[in-house]
Amino acid sequence: MTLSRDRLRWLCRRGMLELDAWLTRFLDVRYTDLPADQQAVFASLLNQDDMDLFDWITGECASPAEFRCIVAEIKTTRYPKT
């Protein structure tokens, strides 16, 4: 099942401003370029606990293997220069 962009955007809203920014930026900049299987992994990542996500993205803890690629992408995603 594929989630709509609007639903994904809603799921990117977290209890932490930092997570909101990282996840929304990734959705805006990189998500559409991902193959369908990686889009599904991102959607699954959004079901994880906020503190786990924060620790994985900041590098405090290693992310599970299934999310490692997406977490690395999130960490390196930057807005294009305008």
Give tens-digit pLDDT for 28-63.
999 999 999 999 999 999 999 999 999 999 999 999
- Is position 50 within any domain? yes
CATH number, residue 60: 1.10.150.250
Number of domains in the chain: 1
What integer best gives the mean pLDDT of the chain? 92
pLDDT at position 1: 54
For residue 59, what are the CA distances in angstroms to 2, 34, 62, 75? 29, 23, 6, 9
Domain containing 37: what range? 5-76
- Is position 59 within any domain? yes
- Measure the CA–CA gap between 9 and 23, rounded to whole angstroms: 9
pTM summary value? 0.89
- Is position 81 within any domain? no
- Is position 82 within any domain? no
